[in-house]
Amino acid sequence: MTNPARAVLFDLDGTLVDPAGAITEGILAALLRHGVPHPGDERLEALVGPPLAIGLLGLPGMDEELLPSVIADYRAEYAASGMAASRVYPGIADLLAELRDSGLALAVATSKPQDIAVRLLEMQGLLGLFDAVHGSPNDEHHTVHSGPGKAHIVGAALAAVGAEARDAVMVGDRHYDVDGAGAHGMACIGVAWGYAAEGELETAGAHAVVDSADGLRELLLGAAGRAV
């Protein structure tokens, strides 16, 4: 869609798809197999959002030497069973179809590696609903030096759908989504069903926080949505 009147960018895990423990449990298993101690549930859940390599290096007992093998171990298990275990959040598939029917351009902007994001969307039956999918480089080790932000991913997704920031809105579940949108002067709607800590989205400056697909529909397609 070229120069759309409006575009919506979505985060993936925690926003469109519930990993159903596949991410945190898979990462924990990979860590333990490599002798890295359990970091605690809170720190594991915080890994859903930023690039995995950057999140892992913040854990006690992790270093860059271990990083490639821990990631490879986790990704192999995720590909074998984690993607299939994930579930689309209630009402999301219908909402995406409705947004497309209304003429909006839709894109995914995720810190997940590009190829894995495409495979997950395809497996969950969502890929055909998007005009573009943008993620992190497939070589995750190289993301260590690019920083945890999503601004470059959001920018690529905006460009792919031919949208200006003023005509677009980001939807996500972590402060990384709010920050990435804000770097382009774009509004962000937070979703409460994901992995944000209490108050995280509001503190980051989310335009609004919704707790259901119906609430998101009202903001994107209702009277409030035209003001976003």
Catalytic residue positions, numbered = 11
Distances (CA, A) of 12 to 36, 37, 46, 86, 110: 27, 28, 15, 11, 6
Structure tokens belonging to residue 215: 């609430």
| Strands, sheet with 132-136, edge to edge from the N-terminal-most edge strand | 132-136, 105-113, 7-10, 168-172, 187-191, 208-210
Residues contacting residue 142 through CB under 8 Å, at least 6 positions apart: none
Residue carrying the six token digits 């994901």: 194
Distance CA 152, CA 162 (A): 15
d(CA 101, CA 122): 20
The answer to whether 194 and 187 have CB atoms below 8 angstroms apart is: no
Beta bridge partners of 190: 172, 209
